[in-house]
Amino acid sequence: MSDKKRLESGDRIATEAADWWSSLALGTADPGAFSRWRDSDPAHAIAFARVQATWESLQHHRTDVETQLLERGSRRRFLRNSVAVASVGLIGAAGLLYTSRATAWSHASTAVGEFRRLRLPDSSLLELNTDTSVSWRCNDHARNFRIERGEMALELTTGAPVTLAVAIARLSLSSGSFNARLIDGQVGLLVLQGRATGTVVRDGVSRTFVLESGQSAEWGPGLARIAPISAAARERLTAWRNGSVVFDDETLASAVAEYNRYLSRKIVVADPVLATMRVGGRFATSDPTAFLHAVSVALNADIHRDAGSIQIVRK
Amino acid sequence: MPELRPIDRWFIDEVLPHERRYIAAARALTANEDEARDLVQEVYVKLFSLNGWAAIESPPGYVLRMLRNLAIEHLRRAKIVSFRRLTETDAKNIWDEAPDQFRVMSAREQLSRVILALEKLPERCRAVLLRRRLGDETPTEIARATGESISTLEKRLARGMQLLTQALEFQGTAERVRDDSSTQPSAHERQETT
- Show the beta-strand stretches assigned E in chain A: 106-109, 116-119, 125-128, 133-138, 143-156, 162-166, 169-173, 176-183, 186-193, 195-202, 205-212, 215-220, 223-228, 244-251, 266-269, 278-284, 301-305, 309-314
Tell whether domain A92-229 is in CATH 2.60.120.1440. Answer: yes
Whether residue A15 lies within 8 A of chain B, CB to CB, comes out as: yes
What pLDDT, on the 0 to 100 scale, is given for residue A44? 94
Task: Work out the average pLDDT over A203-210.
Answer: 78
Q: What is the mean pLDDT of residues A235-258?
A: 90
DSSP A161: -
Task: Compute the average pLDDT of residues A261-287.
Answer: 89
CB distance A6–B110 less than 8 Å? no
pLDDT at A190 over 90: yes
Å between A107 CA and nearest CA of chain B:
14
Given a contact cutoff of 8 angstroms between Cβ atoms, the answer to whether A188 and A180 are in contact is: yes
**pLDDT at residue B29, as a whole number:** 81
User: What is the distance between the alpha carbons of residues B90 and B64, in angstroms, rounded to a whole number?
Assistant: 12
Tell me if ipTM is over 0.90.
no
Q: In chain B, what residues touch A62 (CB-CB under 8 Å)?
A: 133-134
Cβ-Cβ contacts under 8 Å, A34 against chain B: 3
Does A119 score more than 50 pLDDT?
Answer: yes
Q: In the predicted model, is pLDDT for residue A311 greater than 80?
A: yes
Q: Provide the pLDDT for residue B89.
A: 52
Residues of B in contact with A82 (CB under 8 A): 123-124, 127, 145-146
- Least confident window among A24-33, A230-239, B38-47, B125-134: B125-134
In this complex, the residue of A2, A22, A31 whose CB is nearest that of residue B161 is A22
The residue of chain B nearest to residue A81, with distances taken between CA atoms, is B127
Region A246-274: what's the mean pLDDT? 90
Domain boundaries, chain A: 3-60, 92-229, 243-314
Distance of CA A314 to the CA centre of its chain: 39
Using the beta-carbon criterion (under 8 Å), do B45 and A98 form an inter-chain contact?
no
Residue of higher predicted confidence among A5 and B23: B23
Beta carbon pairs, A and B, within 8 Å: 172
- Residue to mutate among B14, B119, B162, with most A CBs inside 10 A, is B162
What percent of chain A is modeled with pLDDT above 90?
Answer: 38
* Mean of per-residue pLDDT scores for chain A: 81
Q: What is the pLDDT of residue B152?
A: 87
Average pLDDT, 10 consecutive residues per value, chain B (194 residues): 76 85 84 86 92 82 90 72 51 46 52 79 80 65 79 88 83 37 38 37
* Residues in chain A within 8 Å Cβ distance of B105: none
Residue A299's pLDDT is: 83
Look at residue A268 and tell me whether its pLDDT is greater than 70: yes
Nearest to A120 by CA among A147, A150, A149, A154: A154
CB distance B150–A28 less than 8 Å? yes
Name which CATH class applies to A243-314.
alpha beta
**Calpha distance B31→B37 (Å, rounded):** 11
Q: Is A73 on the interface with B (CB under 8 A)?
A: no
Q: Which one has a higher pLDDT value, B29 or A312? A: A312
Amino acid letter, B159: R
CA dihedral (B13, B16, B18, B22) positive or negative: positive
- For chain B, strand residue ranges (E) read none
Is-contact A94 B132, C-beta < 8 A? Answer: yes
Separation between Cα atoms, residue A141 and residue A277, nearest integer Å: 52
Distance from CA of B72 to the nearest CA of A (A): 16
pLDDT of A45 reads 95
CA trace torsion B114, B120, B125, B130 (10° rounding) = 30
Say which residue, A291 or A59, is predicted with more confidence: A291
- Nearest residue in A to B167, CA atom: A54
* pLDDT score of A35: 92
The reported pLDDT for the residue numbered B103 is 43
CATH numeric code, B107-180: 1.10.10.10
| % of residues, chain A, pLDDT over 70 | 82
Q: Do A6 and B41 touch (CB under 8 A)?
A: yes
Most A CBs within 10 A among B130, B137, B190, B193, hence the mutation to make, goes to B130
- Reduced to 3 states, what is the DSSP secondary structure of residue A149? strand
The whole-number average pLDDT for the span A150-174 is 92
Under 8 Å CB-to-CB from A58, ≥6 apart: which residues?
A: A65, B114, B129, B133, B164
A65 — contact with chain B (CB < 8 Å)?
Answer: yes
Longest dimension (CA), chain B: 62
Closest CA in chain B for residue A84 = B127
In the chain, the amino acid numbered B67 is L
